[in-house]
Amino acid sequence: MIFDTASQWITIDNQQIPNAELISNYDVSESVSAKPQYIDEAKTTPDIVDPNFGSVLFEGQKYTDNMCLVQVRNGRNDNTGRLCVRNMPFISVTGIIGDFSANGIFGLAPHMHERSFVNQLYMQGEIEDKVVGLNYEDAANKQQVSTVTFGYIDYNQIEGGQDGFNYYNNIGLNYWAVLMDDVTYIDQGLGTSGPMMAIIDSGNTTI
């Protein structure tokens, strides 16, 4: 799963999807807690959506299911899991257009309400604060690993600890964005034309 701060949905490749590069372990038809979503009261018309991830286009149906980020045993259920959400909305992907080498997208965009896993964790009492932290390893240091935290910030991962942590206001609506005055590369400012909005996208490796 790709933790993506610019995506608005959790999308999960269904096990039977024909053109996935990685075989998913999740089969929505075998889940006893998965509930398909429909757009009509008679439940005859599935709620189909087609979100994109960069140049990759997904197609799938909206579902809800119980979802845990961590499982401590192979016999997986709500009692063996940690950071679990009941009836979490997501998209069960049935088709992919483009090259995609993961099992799904874990959307972390803000203001998604019931579609936000972080918000659901908070509302269901799994975390005390609506906070998610992403820490990237130094690519030149093979001893480091990237980490993600839910409900707190690991200040041990920050140079200077809590005193070294800088806060910036989010100026985006359905995505994370900050106001950027300039870009510095090897101690040299590139001289932008003025303040710009920079989108924080953890699923993109380019600037």
pTM of the model: 0.83
Say if residue 90 is in the same domain as residue 162: no
Say if residue 33 is in the same domain as residue 91: yes
**CB-based contact 84:68 (threshold 8 Å):** yes
User: Which amino acid, residue 27?
Assistant: D
**CB-based contact 22:102 (threshold 8 Å):** yes
Say if residue 41 is in the same domain as residue 76: yes
**CB-based contact 52:58 (threshold 8 Å):** yes
Residues in a beta bridge with 12: 92, 104
Say if residue 72 is in the same domain as residue 103: yes
pLDDT tens, residue by residue, 119-176: 999 999 999 999 999 988 887 888 888 889 999 999 988 889 999 999 899 999 888 9
Q: How far apart are CA 168 and CA 151, in angstroms?
A: 18
Say if residue 105 is in the same domain as residue 154: no
Q: Print the domain residue range for 68.
A: 2-123
Say if residue 147 is in the same domain as residue 119: no
Say if residue 60 is in the same domain as residue 137: no
